[in-house]
């Protein structure tokens, strides 16, 4: 059963003696009443994006600072210099994100885990469809005794911005900012503190297994864009056959 907006607010204002320090079951910081919807709360994009370093071709920019007065954007703007752009024109396949040279191995701690960081200027940042970005919510949340999850706002989706590539589901007991896996279909401008998604809360049944008490949890307490933990390969499965 999903909580309504007024119920989200009521829970936020109600201390729970069963929680640490009598905290309420929902904490959203910062909180603005105008962002509370009929059954969700609007989340905002933080001012920092990160990209896996080995996925960026040499000489290419992670993003382009947006100038609303500029009307002649072109592929040249994605490159640090004329020389870098000339190299792209000679060998465009080297800059194609489908090139295996940019591979990510999610199950081993290779150098693709190094991150490049970029700040989103107040004027806006143009994102590339060829790049996957790790962003973060401005909001820090804590959730207990409820199931939180985030989804895109309708206007975000209609601009073909994917704000969480797959991991929009949270956990009872998760405390932290939400890392966003952002992709765009076209070169798209984003701004710090733009509304990027919504958080919802649902009730659940069964014995609790809080995320912050689970030794196998990776992301509790995270702040800012957080790189992926190594995905385990469960070799014990083979031993069952």
Write out the catalytic residue numbers.
181
Decide: 28 and 44 in contact? Cβ < 8 Å. no
Backbone angles phi, psi at 198, to 5 degrees: -135, 145
CA distance 89 to 74: 13
What's the token pair of residue 34? 């105008």
Instruction: Count the neighbouring beta carbons within 10 Å of the beta carbon of residue 140.
Output: 17
- As a whole number of Å, the end-to-end CA separation of the chain is 40
- Laid out side by side, the sheet with 41-44 consists of 41-44, 195-202, 147-151
Tokens of 210: 């809080």
Q: How far apart are CA 178 and CA 135, in angstroms?
A: 8
Q: Name 148's bridge partners.
A: 201
As a whole number of angstroms, the distance between CA 47 and CA 28 comes to 18
Is the separation of the CB atoms in 172 and 106 below 8 Å?
no
Tally of CB atoms within 10 A around 83: 10
């Amino acid at each position: 059963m999903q909580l309504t907006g007024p119920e989200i607010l009521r829970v936020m204002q109600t201390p729970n003696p069963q929680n640490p320090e009598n905290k309420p079951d929902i904490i959203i910081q910062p909180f603005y009443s105008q962002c509370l919807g009929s059954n969700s709360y609007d989340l905002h994009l933080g001012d920092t994006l990160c990209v896996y370093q080995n996925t960026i071709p040499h000489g290419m920019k992670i993003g382009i600072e947006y100038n609303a007065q500029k009307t002649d954007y072109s592929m040249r703007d994605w490159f640090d210099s004329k020389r870098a752009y000339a190299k792209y024109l000679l060998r465009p396949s080297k800059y194609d994100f489908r090139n295996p040279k940019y591979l990510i191995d999610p199950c081993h701690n290779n150098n693709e885990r190094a991150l490049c960081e970029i700040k989103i200027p107040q004027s806006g940042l143009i994102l590339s469809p060829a790049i996957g970005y790790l962003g973060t919510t401005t909001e820090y949340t804590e959730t207990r005794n409820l199931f939180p999850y985030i989804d895109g706002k309708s206007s975000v989706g209609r601009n073909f911005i994917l704000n969480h590539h797959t991991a929009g589901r949270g956990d009872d007991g998760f405390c932290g900012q939400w890392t966003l896996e952002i992709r765009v279909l076209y070169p798209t401008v984003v701004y710090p503190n733009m509304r990027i998604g919504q958080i919802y809360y649902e009730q659940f049944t069964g014995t609790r297994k809080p995320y912050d008490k689970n030794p196998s949890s990776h992301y509790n307490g995270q702040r800012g864009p957080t790189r992926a933990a190594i995905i385990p390969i469960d070799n014990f499965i083979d031993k069952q056959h």
